[in-house]
Amino acid sequence: MAAAQGGAQPPMDDAADANDAAALDDVADLDDVDPITAHAPAPGRRRTLWWPAALAAAVALCLGVPALVASGSSASGTVAAAPSTNSPEAGFARDMATHHQQAIDMSFIIRDRTDNAEVRGLAFDIINTQANQRGMMMGWLDQWGLTQNSSAAPMAWMKMAPYPAHDGSLMPGMATNTQLDQLRQLSGTAAEIFYLQLMLNHHKGGIEMAQGYADVAQNAAEKRLADSMVASQTSEIQLMTNMLAERGAKPLPS
């Protein structure tokens, strides 16, 4: 893959980016990321990358303890019974948790493959935000008395044609095992480009899933989370597209 370097990048806040890079280095694995208390990067740099993580934290505060109880509430605001194991609520929570896990994994990979503060800052934001959201979804399943895994095919709750899972890609936008192995072998600008390309498509698949749930949601708290995913990942898609352009690269075909 071409690893062409784009033009000169705009100035960045060195102190803020240094803080982000240090914070990312401190995270050894996913177990070190507290899905509820993880902090966003320091503000002040030209990219407002703190806001997806801040949004996730705000969602957690808005949901509150009442939103985590098994009864929950419907999208219309009325009290609802705990979702069934085959419900869109359970299916979305399980599938999006799996989808998020790969985004977290890819972000840990790029952490070790580049020294670029901008890309590492983005990776930190994705780890922070998606670990937070994943923790909420796993918490809901537990509160509903449901298992975190199911024998149902991924995306079955969306009532769409089955996704042709292949080489570890279980849902739309997910990278294959081959692509992940390739990312692990790259470094520097080439790794940055491939990470951005993979994550951009990953976000597109995540938006499709989140919007699909929001359209049929019966749980108000979970719908708010899905809506926040659509908003934050749409913003990050534009950011990553710009970062690719700065490196003389384009998104991969969807």
pLDDT category, 159, cuts 50, 70, 90? confident
Q: What percent of the chain clears pLDDT 70, i.e. is strictly above it? A: 69
Indicate whether 145 belongs to any domain.
Answer: yes
pLDDT at 28: 43
Indicate whether 42 belongs to any domain.
Answer: no
Average pLDDT value for the chain: 80
**How many whole angstroms separate alpha carbon 12 and alpha carbon 167?**
38
pLDDT category, 197, cuts 50, 70, 90? very high
pLDDT at 181: 98
**How many whole angstroms separate alpha carbon 119 and alpha carbon 240?**
9
115 neighbors 16 (Cβ within 8 angstroms): no
Indicate whether 35 belongs to any domain.
Answer: no
**How many whole angstroms separate alpha carbon 117 and alpha carbon 133?**
24
In the chain, the number of structural domains is 1
> In this predicted model, which residue has the larger pLDDT, 119 or 28?
119
- Tokens 């983005």 correspond to what residue? 122
Report the CATH number at residue 210: 1.20.1260.10
Domain span at residue 63? 55-246
Indicate whether 29 belongs to any domain.
Answer: no
Identity (one letter) of the amino acid at 153? A
> In this predicted model, which residue has the larger pLDDT, 112 or 71?
112
* 58-76 average pLDDT score: 46
